[in-house]
Amino acid sequence: MNLKMKFRTLIVPFALWFSLVSATEPPELDKLRKDLEKELSDLNEPIARLQETYSNYLEKQGEEFRKNGDLESFIVVEKEIDQFRSGGVDVSSVPQILRLQKIYRERAENLEASHAEKARPVIEKFRKRAEELATQWTRIDRIEDAKKARLEAQRLDKLAGGSSNVVAVVKQSKSVPIQDGIAGDEAGDEMRNSLGMTLCWIPAGRFTMGSPETEEGRDPALEKQVEVELPRGFWMGKFEVTQEEFHDIFDSYSSHWSRFGATLPADQVTWNKAAEFCETLTIIEREMKKIGEHWKYDLPTEAEWEYACRAGSAGPFYDEIEEIAWFQGNEGPRGNHAMTHPVGEKKENEWGLHDMHGNVSEWCSDWFKNDSLEGGVAPEGADSGTSKVRRGGAWSRPAVECRAAYRHSFPPTTESNGTGFRIVLRRID
């Protein structure tokens, strides 16, 4: 059995974090970040020493094989060294290397636990400093700076929530090298990315896109059924991108419903900005070695969206609409407002996805074609156009506009309090 392991080192990407921060940031916040970077870097020294030791042992073992004329084992060691430095290694068939791998993994796992325990109070200390700055600046009418300090406190609170975002971590993982990304095994498998977003694995497959002639509310011109094949699986966001997650990339973002909570889906998002979010997240994760050059974040194609929404179902909804969607029939009120709701409150589909119907309408990557659907293998829509596809309906729309096959569009510069998006992570070669 060709079992593979992946050892991952995830250290807080502070240099990248700094590069995404505006040059006009208050100097007090800049100093806070640098102080935190220094303290966390000190915590990561043990894992760095362990990695250096492991690499040195490999080089010594390779040299011993070379001197003894065992060229086959020497080549195995050289490959092991290259893969280790790029983030992933095969479980070796050479007993001496297998023993080193086992020792390395056990020691690294022990370091992970102790580092997590030490890192959380450090981050909490700096989170409190950020909150104190926000309070202080509010009192002296430095309102914009206070907002930035509060956002910093929110980021640090999120970092403190999981050790894998903070300290060096070495774990067994799935059977794809880190530089090539991570493929799922079964529909609904989950993974978490560097922003803490949960993604579900959508398997390759075939389905009938569009709606049957008997479906209520159907548009015969836009929903004529076609057969579609998606030959390669992909990851899709379990939830619509939230206001908090959108803020992690774009500090200046303002939601129509921001005062009601950060776990509501991001709205007022243009197609252009949603696409930029995906591009930026791709850059971040490639820099962190979370994904390789063959993988990228993107908006789903219209075909990917409907396929994932249906998750094997064939009707207008994958369950009773009241159970799975916020729409015109049940959307409010919250206070005096009919509006969006926190993501994930409604029942998920068979592949683990929430809010595919209702809440906010979701951008797709395709240009909208005001005619029949394009079938075939992995269709991507028209080459150009004036409007981009939206799918899923929204909190303010009737049930017929929340159907799996319903198609709608807006110009890519349009903002709406009922429009958001979710991400996909797909292989691109």
Residue 173 has pLDDT above 50, yes or no: no
Whole-number pLDDT of residue 84: 66
Q: Tell me which of 104, 136, 165 is where a domain ends.
A: 165
Whole-number pLDDT of residue 339: 78
Average pLDDT over residues 72-88: 70
Would residue 172 count as lying in a domain?
Answer: no
Q: Identify the three-state secondary structure at position 425.
A: strand
Task: Pick 103 or 351 by higher pLDDT.
Answer: 351
Q: Tell me which of 165, 192, 209 is where a domain ends.
A: 165
Would residue 374 count as lying in a domain?
Answer: yes
Q: What is the mean pLDDT of the chain?
A: 79
Same structural domain for residues 182 and 157? no
Whole-number pLDDT of residue 13: 40
Q: Identify the three-state secondary structure at position 84.
A: helix
Q: Lowest-confidence range among 64-73, 91-100, 373-382?
A: 91-100
Residue pair 265/343 in contact by the 8 Å Cβ criterion: yes
pLDDT band with cut points at 50, 70 and 90 for residue 398 = very high
Same structural domain for residues 216 and 325? yes
* Residue 216: domain span: 178-427
User: How many independent structural domains does the chain possess?
Assistant: 2
Tell me the per-residue pLDDT of 223-272, one tens digit each, with 9 for 90 and over: 999 999 999 999 999 999 998 899 888 876 667 766 666 789 999 899 99
pLDDT band with cut points at 50, 70 and 90 for residue 174 = very low
Residue 121 buriedness (CB in 10 A; 0-12 / 13-18 / 19+):
exposed
Same structural domain for residues 190 and 293? yes
Would residue 412 count as lying in a domain?
Answer: yes
Whole-number pLDDT of residue 160: 67
Whole-number pLDDT of residue 93: 54
Residue 391 has pLDDT above 90, yes or no: yes
Tell me the per-residue pLDDT of 10-38, one tens digit each, with 9 for 90 and over: 333 444 444 444 445 788 888 888 888 88
pLDDT band with cut points at 50, 70 and 90 for residue 150 = confident
CA distance linking residue 239 with residue 421, whole number of Å:
9
Task: Pick 202 or 112 by higher pLDDT.
Answer: 202
Would residue 170 count as lying in a domain?
Answer: no
Average pLDDT over residues 333-361: 85
Whole-number pLDDT of residue 157: 77
pLDDT band with cut points at 50, 70 and 90 for residue 105 = low
Whole-number pLDDT of residue 421: 97
Average pLDDT over residues 106-125: 72
Would residue 157 count as lying in a domain?
Answer: yes
Same structural domain for residues 75 and 183? no
Residue 132 has pLDDT above 80, yes or no: yes
CATH number, residue 271? 3.90.1580.10
Would residue 351 count as lying in a domain?
Answer: yes
Same structural domain for residues 104 and 233? no
Whole-number pLDDT of residue 393: 94
Whole-number pLDDT of residue 71: 80
Q: Tell me which of 165, 196, 222 is where a domain ends.
A: 165
pTM score, whole prediction: 0.60
CA distance linking residue 342 with residue 194, whole number of Å:
21
Residue pair 272/413 in contact by the 8 Å Cβ criterion: yes
Same structural domain for residues 133 and 243? no
86 phi/psi in degrees, rounded to 5: -95, -5
Residue 402 has pLDDT above 80, yes or no: yes
Same structural domain for residues 285 and 355? yes
Same structural domain for residues 265 and 401? yes
Q: CA dist 313 to 120, 207, 211, 217, Å? A: 44, 9, 12, 18
Tell me the per-residue pLDDT of 318-341, one tens digit each, with 9 for 90 and over: 999 999 999 987 865 444 457 788
Residue pair 87/81 in contact by the 8 Å Cβ criterion: no
Whole-number pLDDT of residue 289: 83
Would residue 40 count as lying in a domain?
Answer: yes
Task: Pick 281 or 53 by higher pLDDT.
Answer: 281
Whole-number pLDDT of residue 394: 93
Tell me the per-residue pLDDT of 280-309, one tens digit each, with 9 for 90 and over: 999 988 888 888 889 999 999 999 999 999
Whole-number pLDDT of residue 382: 86
Same structural domain for residues 156 and 205? no
Would residue 47 count as lying in a domain?
Answer: yes
Residue 4 has pLDDT above 60, yes or no: no
Same structural domain for residues 353 and 381? yes
Q: Identify the three-state secondary structure at position 401.
A: helix
Residue pair 211/247 in contact by the 8 Å Cβ criterion: no
List CB contacts of 223: < 8 A, sequence separation 6 or more: 210, 211, 215, 373, 405, 406, 407
Residue 125 has pLDDT above 70, yes or no: yes
Same structural domain for residues 196 and 124? no
Same structural domain for residues 192 and 43? no
353 phi/psi in degrees, rounded to 5: -90, 135
